[in-house]
Chains A and B, each alone.
Chain A
Amino acid sequence: MANTTTGTRDRRDSRCGLSGEAIVQNGCVVTELATSDIHNHTNNHHHDLSSTMHSETVVPTYKPSCSSTPIYYCSPQKNYSDMNQDCHSLTSQDSGIPTLEINPPEPIIHAHQRTGDGGLVSDSSFYSPATLTLEDSTDGNSIRKSSTFPRSGYDSIRHLSPALRLSTTSGAAVGALNRSDDISSMSSMSTELSVSNEDILDFTVTSSSSAIVTLETDDSSGSHFTDVTLTTSPGNPGDLWSPVRGPHQEEDGRLKKLGPLASLFNRSLFARRVKDNRPVEQKDPGWKLFGKVPLREGPIKDPKRIQKVEIFFLQMLTYFAAFEVFFEENLPKLFAHFQKNNLTPDIYLIDWIFTLYSKSLPLDLACRVWDVFCRDHEEFLFRTGLGLLRLYQDVLSPMDFIHMAQFLTRLPDLIPADQLFQHITAIHMTSRNRKWAQVLQALQKDPERCSPVLKR
């Protein structure tokens, strides 16, 4: 009586990491992945996050495992059962989001596993920043279209170039490590990269410094980040977040180059762990009311921590609404089908966007997405989402809710990279002559129009 869908499509199951099926690759370069599902290539990759805590110049260490014994996450729960409970949930949160780890010193061992996703794109050239040129040559227009966010020209390129090299440097490492697309791989990768290349520090300091800033301000009662997030001034399309600058202007400036969403990630997500150190605020009697409190009144009535989450949530809804505008524009039939089935974008977009596709796409594909993300900012994440929907339009359109939801939250192992990028390129990021930033801005001015989740 078992449902026919489970297991058939979910071959990858890397989240689950069935150790019994895994073949340990011992960190060897795996360029010819078997296309069969029989071989699940696993890569065991020990990564000591605690070392990055203590020193910024630690060279990442790869200790390929030679045993076929599955390597588990150190379950915080089991190893630290008598630790402060908040720390416990804190630790568990960390691996959920690709981020720069600012853990309390604690060894984390990752088991990277990815089942045979084909040798399609194992060529090392895919790891090079050539992605940009590639897309440039296929469709120059798309580049221009996608760049609705003003860039600071040379400065921006200079700033981001380490990140581009990042994918090159990591290419070797990643190639050697096999492609692994689970979240932890990305989170650990960003950590590795942040310490393995001096140039990259410029890039990564952005995130870590913002997290640290939050750390400092969080303990004092006047966390300026809360205010920053609240004081959005949608007047300037190029500066959607246009935060009131606190004393940490430099960090803000840097963050902005990565786009509003990136800053949002940094402030609201990457810094979350710090807030969780605080005592059980969620027991405050007022917190339940939150969803009903208008955005602007939030700060006065509710605990700060909840506000941030809530405000972040409302901002995400704006992004989802903007996504839907372009979804309808580009794929009207599929959009109608989704609507008919009450399949709202939060159901699949959270998984895609929060992890920057590190969970949903094979790492080689994710790297290509990140390349353009660094240049085009968050718009490209949503464009990638639309490209995925376009690529799988024919597969999705006969499905019902649960099958679509399952399909989208567990994308196929074999995603043809070139086809995906062709579909991404084919997505028009204009709707009624408005570009992404303009649509987003309009929605931010009128939050009533943009709550797909709350409307249900």
Chain B
Amino acid sequence: MEAIWLYQFRLIVIGDSTVGKSCLIRRFTEGRFAQVSDPTVGVDFFSRLVEIEPGKRIKLQIWDTAGQERFRSITRAYYRNSVGGLLLFDITNRRSFQNVHDWLEEARSHVQPHNIVFLLVGHKCDLEAQREVTRQEAEKLAGAYGMRYVETSARDAINVEHAFTELTRDIFALVRTGEITIQEGWEGVKSGFVPNVVHSSEEVTKSDRRCLC
């Protein structure tokens, strides 16, 4: 199957362990929810095309990082080449919300000289009865950092598409206005004006025509 995309954005998904990063991404890329999910070790990779306007497709390359602290040293190296990020906390786990600040600080200190567009995601919003973080305080925090706030549920597929497409649109707008530019040696945004071949792993006969110097 061939697909043409305007840009490829590399997104990173961060947040405390067990907030549901992998499940959210799997819902988005595979359209299903896994009841059982093993902890991510290091980093996992997903990708999906998003059509932000008719005919305008963006390829998202999503890096699903391990939330566990023991992998922090590795995962923080992945900020630099990301253009956008979803910062997740679990609305039923207050600590994960309290750690949002630390995550942002860590990201900001490792992303330089580039910038990263973040979206704050309150995950597991299907578990309303166990909620420990109100929408108001989360919105307030997001506002303080200049981020959007979205509440999602991978289990019930609430706002999952919305979260990713909103972030993609925001980044796309910044790319269009030139605030984010494609740079040599930076993987955050890649141009896809030349038709690229999206080939599955089984199609091993085609060669990769892109030049990634």
CB distance from A439 to the nearest CB of B (A): 22
Question: Are B200 and A8 closer than 8 Å at their CB atoms?
Answer: yes
In the complex, whether A1 has a CB less than 8 A from a CB of chain B is yes
Q: Answer whether residue A81 sits at the interface, using C-beta atoms and an 8 A cutoff.
A: yes
A16 touches B37 (CB 8 A): yes
B191 at the interface (CB under 8 A from A): no
Stretch at the interface among B65-73, B137-145, B166-174, B175-183: B65-73
Closest CB in chain A relative to B119 CB, distance in Å: 21
Whether A62 is near chain B, meaning CB under 8 Å from some CB there, is no
Interface centre among A9, A81, A184, A394 (most CB of B within 10 A): A81
| B81 contacts partner chain A, Cβ-Cβ < 8 Å | yes
User: Cβ of A395: which chain B residues have Cβ within 8 Å of it?
Assistant: 201, 204
B 82-115 contacts with A by CB, 8 A: 90, 92-95, 99, 102, 105-106, 109-110
| CB nearest to A182 among chain B residues | B38
Given contacts A9-B201, A16-B37, A85-B95, contact A93 B70 (CB under 8 A): yes
1/0 contact trace for B179-213 toward A, CB 8 Å? 00000000100000000001111101111101011
Total interface residues in chain A, CB < 8 Å: 76
Bound form: Cα–Cα A8–B130 in Å: 36
1-55 of chain A: CB within 8 A of chain B: 1-10, 13-19
Residues of B within 8 A of A283 (CB): 102
Contact B30 A7 (CB under 8 A): yes
Chain A residues in 8 Å Cβ range of B1: 4
B107 to chain A, nearest CB (A): 11
The one of A7, A17, A350 that contacts B74, using a Cβ cutoff of 8 Å: A350
A72 shortest CB reach to chain B, Å: 5
Cα distance A159–B105 when bound, in Å? 47
Residues of A within 8 A of B158 (CB): none
Contact check, B34 vs A3: say whether CB atoms are below 8 A apart.
no
Pair B70/A355 contact, Cβ less than 8 Å: no
Contact between B37 and A310, CB atoms less than 8 A apart: no
Give bound CA distance, A363 to B213, whole Å: 39
Is there a chain A Cβ closer than 8 Å to B48's Cβ?
yes
Q: How far is the CB of A277 from chain B (nearest CB, A)?
A: 12
Residues of A within 8 A of B94 (CB): 85
A residues near B51, Cβ cutoff 8 Å: 1
Known: A3-B47, A88-B18, A405-B45. A77 touches B201 (CB 8 A): no
Question: Does A402 have its Cβ within 8 Å of any Cβ on chain B?
Answer: yes
Is B16 an interface residue when CB atoms closer than 8 A count as contact? yes
The residue that B57 contacts in the complex, of A1, A310, A405, with Cβ under 8 A, is A1
Inter-chain pairs besides A272-B70, A402-B45, 4 sampled, C-beta below 8 Å: A19-B36, A85-B94, A92-B17, A398-B207
The residues of A with any CB-CB pair to B shorter than 8 Å are 1-10, 13-19, 70, 72-73, 75-78, 81, 85, 88-89, 92-93, 95-97, 111, 113, 182-184, 268-269, 272, 276, 282-283, 288, 291, 309-310, 312-313, 316, 340-342, 346-347, 350-351, 354-355, 359, 394-395, 398-403, 405-407, 409, 453-454, 456
* Between-chain CB contacts (< 8 Å), 5 pairs: A1-B50, A7-B30, A8-B201, A16-B34, A402-B45
